[in-house]
């Protein structure tokens, strides 16, 4: 999914935290930056003023403004024109310094957002880089219920009516935590990390057939919900039928991988049938995942034990 953010959106999201103020009119508010755009050049998405490898958000601290003041009039104007010609998303002045009139004129003529903040440069740099990296990271919305089970992020998937919400509700009563119901959003925040969150509209809510929409925080307390969690395991609920019942590996179970944003996420399929305790089975699946992450696989251990027994028995015979 291609993500993008405009200067106005960035300002709206960070102006309180960074105490940003918009200088002049709101020119440049609709200028966009898209994910992957910064990869075509060497610059980062945010950084101190750089006229050789320009950043998408140019930060002007005390040193940068002093450097501009040291240029002669012609060279200074050429430099300002060069800065705005790269069409940065925004120019940000630190420490509430006064904005030079020619810099303001260049920004207004080019339609470039010009902001000022009382924060120091390194504070602005750190928060802008982090926020832009998250906002522009690849993301996807998946259908299912996302929970934290034994500190592991687990996505429960399955066809409509397979019992995902009922299973999630029972797990919550057993002390596990809800992250998102129906449409969890996953963002790739690192090469091998998918962070799952809940859309604001669905925050803390769980829809259960026959009961309607439940507010989990109000019903079970603050510890029953969690804002975000890394996706580590997918548990798929599959109704048992005559066709697929005989295909299940009785020793190793039905374990595979599912690709999400280019990453292979372990997936365990649990057959759904009357009388099966799905909450206990899912908890066991998570414990099994934890064991396998530690290098312990009960199925492999059993087969190795069985092979050793056969070899020992054959030798004795």
- Written in H, E and C, the secondary structure of the chain is CCCEEEHHHHHHHHHHHHCCEECCCCCCCCCEEECCHHHHCCCCCEEECCCCCCCCEEEECHHHHHHHHCCCHHHHHHHHHHHHHCCCCEEEECCCCCCCHHHHHHHHHHCCEEEECCCCHHHHHHHHHHHHHHHCCCEEECCEEEEEECCEEEEEEECCCCCHHHHHHHHHHCCCEEEEEECCEEEEEECCEEEEECCHHHCCEEEECCCEEEEHHHHHCHHHECCEEEEEEEEEEEECCCCCHHHCCCCCCCEEEEEECCEEEEEEEEEECCCCCHHHHHHHHHHHHHHHHCCCCHHHHHHHHHHHHHHHHHHHC
Asked if 77 and 153 sit in the same domain, the reply is no
User: 11 to each of 55, 144, 272, 303, how far by Cα in Å?
Assistant: 17, 33, 49, 59
Q: What is the pLDDT along the chain (317 residues), one digit of tens a residue?
A: 447 889 999 999 999 999 999 997 787 888 888 776 544 455 678 899 988 888 889 999 999 999 999 999 999 999 999 999 999 999 999 999 999 999 999 999 999 999 999 999 999 999 999 898 888 888 899 999 999 999 999 999 999 888 999 999 999 999 999 999 999 999 998 889 999 999 999 999 999 998 999 999 999 999 999 999 999 999 999 987 656 555 666 665 678 899 999 999 999 999 888 888 999 999 999 999 999 999 888 877 777 887 888 887 644 43
Would you say 19 is a known binding-site residue?
A: no
pLDDT of residue 1: 47
The verdict on whether 236 is a catalytic residue reads no
Residue 309 lies in a domain: no
Would you say 165 is a known binding-site residue?
A: yes
Query: How many CA within 13 A on the CB side of residue 302?
Result: 6
Q: Are 194 and 188 in contact (CB under 8 A)?
A: yes
Q: How far apart (Å, rounded) are the C-alpha atoms in residues 89 and 291?
A: 47
Identify the bridge partners of residue 206 per DSSP, sorted by sequence position. Answer: 214
Residue 314 lies in a domain: no
Q: How far apart (Å, rounded) are the C-alpha atoms in residues 303 and 157?
A: 30
Boundary of a domain, candidates 111, 135, 159: 135
pLDDT of residue 317: 37
Asked if 211 and 120 sit in the same domain, the reply is no
Boundary of a domain, candidates 69, 101, 135: 135
Asked if 82 and 153 sit in the same domain, the reply is no
pLDDT of residue 200: 92
CB atoms under 10 Å from CB of 187, counted, come to 22
Asked if 46 and 154 sit in the same domain, the reply is no
Q: How far apart (Å, rounded) are the C-alpha atoms in residues 21 and 27?
A: 13
Would you say 207 is a known binding-site residue?
A: yes
The contacts of residue 255 (CB under 8 Å, 6+ apart) are: 266, 267, 268, 269
Residue 154 lies in a domain: yes
Q: What is the CATH number of the domain that holds 217?
A: 3.40.50.300
Asked if 216 and 126 sit in the same domain, the reply is no
Q: Which of 143, 227, 287, 305 is catalytic?
A: 143
Residue 213 lies in a domain: yes
Q: How far apart (Å, rounded) are the C-alpha atoms in residues 92 and 112?
A: 11
Residue 313 lies in a domain: no
The verdict on whether 164 is a catalytic residue reads yes
Q: How far apart (Å, rounded) are the C-alpha atoms in residues 124 and 18?
A: 7
pLDDT of residue 299: 76
pLDDT of residue 44: 76
Q: Which of 31, 119, 131, 182 is catalytic?
A: 182
Residue 311 lies in a domain: no
Residue 44 lies in a domain: yes
Asked if 150 and 299 sit in the same domain, the reply is yes
Q: Which of 56, 119, 131, 164 is catalytic?
A: 164
Asked if 30 and 152 sit in the same domain, the reply is no
pLDDT of residue 121: 93
The verdict on whether 250 is a catalytic residue reads yes
Asked if 178 and 121 sit in the same domain, the reply is no
Asked if 43 and 158 sit in the same domain, the reply is no
Q: Are 22 and 32 in contact (CB under 8 A)?
A: no
Boundary of a domain, candidates 104, 135, 166: 135
Q: What is the dihedral of CA 199, 133, 232, 278, to 10 degrees?
A: 0
Q: What is the CATH number of the domain that holds 37?
A: 3.40.1390.20
Residue 13 lies in a domain: yes
Asked if 82 and 174 sit in the same domain, the reply is no
Number of folded domains in the chain?
A: 2
The verdict on whether 131 is a catalytic residue reads no
Asked if 84 and 179 sit in the same domain, the reply is no
Would you say 160 is a known binding-site residue?
A: yes
Asked if 110 and 155 sit in the same domain, the reply is no
Could you tell me the residue range of the domain that residue 296 belongs to?
139-303
Geometric angle at alpha carbon 176, from 170 and 180, rounded to 5°: 85
Would you say 259 is a known binding-site residue?
A: no
Which residue from 31, 14, 293, 51 is spatially nearest to 151, judged by alpha carbons?
A: 293
């Amino acid at each position: 999914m291609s993500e993008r953010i405009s200067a106005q959106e960035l300002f709206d999201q960070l102006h309180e935290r960074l105490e940003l103020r918009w200088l002049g009119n709101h020119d440049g508010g609709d200028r966009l930056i898209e994910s992957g755009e910064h990869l075509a050049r060497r610059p980062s998405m945010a950084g101190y003023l750089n006229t050789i490898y320009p950043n998408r958000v140019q930060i002007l601290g005390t040193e940068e403004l002093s450097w501009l003041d040291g240029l002669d009039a012609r060279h200074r104007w050429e430099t300002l024109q060069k800065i705005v010609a790269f069409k940065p998303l925004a120019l940000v002045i630190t420490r509430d310094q006064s904005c030079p009139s020619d810099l303001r004129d260049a920004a207004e003529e080019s339609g470039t957002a010009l902001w000022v903040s009382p924060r120091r440069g390194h504070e602005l740099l750190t928060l802008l880089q982090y926020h832009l990296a998250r906002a522009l990271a690849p993301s996807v919305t998946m259908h299912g219920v996302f929970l934290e089970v034994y500190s592991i992020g687990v996505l429960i998937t399955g066809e409509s009516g397979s019992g995902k919400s009922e299973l999630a509700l029972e797990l919550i009563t057993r002390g596990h935590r809800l992250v998102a119901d129906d449409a969890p959003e996953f963002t790739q925040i690192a090469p091998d990390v998918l962070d799952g969150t809940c859309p604001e509209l669905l925050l803390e809510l769980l829809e259960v057939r026959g009961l309607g929409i439940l507010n989990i925080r109000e019903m079970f307390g603050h510890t029953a919900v969690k804002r975000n969690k890394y996706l580590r395991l997918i548990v798929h609920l599959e109704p048992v039928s005559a066709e697929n019942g005989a295909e299940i590996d009785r020793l190793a179970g039905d374990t595979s991988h599912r690709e999400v944003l280019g990453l292979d996420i372990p997936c365990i399929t649990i057959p759904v049938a009357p009388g099966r305790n799905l909450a206990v089975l899912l908890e066991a699946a998570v414990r099994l995942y934890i064991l396998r992450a530690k290098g312990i696989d009960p199925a492999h251990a059993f087969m190795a034990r069985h092979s050793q027994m056969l070899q020992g028995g054959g030798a004795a015979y």
